[in-house]
Amino acid sequence: MRLSNCDCIYLEPTDYEIAECFFESSPIAKKPHKCCECGRIIEPGEKYIRESGKWTGEFSVYKTCIDCFSVREEMFCEGYLYTTLWENVCEYLRDVDYEISEKCLLALTPRARDMILDIIEEDLKELEKIE
């Protein structure tokens, strides 16, 4: 288990599966790729995380931008499920009343930090409209 200095999002062990085999690399994009988490285009020349493996008998490849990877590394302490990062972050932020440690925010990439702050700002605006 990785110890984090950040807020921790814990998923139920039944929410994700451990890969039967797993490979991770940090290549530089030679062509555009789409981040499996935020959907942003990873541009040529940009570093990203490429993870491939076999889950429940099927091979899959996931390409994650450095920003989403920083959120996953800092905030998901025991496991995660590909393609659900931002859904889980939103749920977590609501559960903790949008209080996230400064230390956590500073550990993220600037773009990831902005994405989290944008979520908080948008949700709080929506809550004000309801009240």
Kindly report, residue by residue over 7-48, the tens digit of the pLDDT: 788 887 666 677 889 999 999 999 999 999 999 999 999 999
Distance CA 64, CA 38 (A): 8
Rg of the chain over all Cα atoms, to the nearest angstrom: 16
- The pTM (predicted TM-score) of the whole model is 0.86
Q: Is the predicted pLDDT of residue 1 greater than 60, yes or no?
A: no
Distance CA 31, CA 82 (A): 22
Q: Is the predicted pLDDT of residue 5 greater than 70, yes or no?
A: no
- Write down the residue that tokens 């009240």 correspond to: 131
DSSP 8-state class, residue 29:
P
8 vs 121, residue with greater confidence: 121
Most confident of 30-39, 47-56, 94-103, 119-128: 30-39
Instruction: At 21, give phi and psi (nearest 5°).
Output: -145, 150
Most confident of 19-28, 42-51, 76-85, 86-95: 42-51
> Which pLDDT belongs to residue 126?
84
CB atoms within 10 A of CB 65: 26
Q: Angle, nearest 10°, between helix axes 110-130 and 66-75?
A: 70
- pLDDT more than 70, % of the chain: 92
Instruction: At 8, give phi and psi (nearest 5°).
Output: -110, 130
Q: Is the predicted pLDDT of residue 108 greater than 90, yes or no?
A: yes
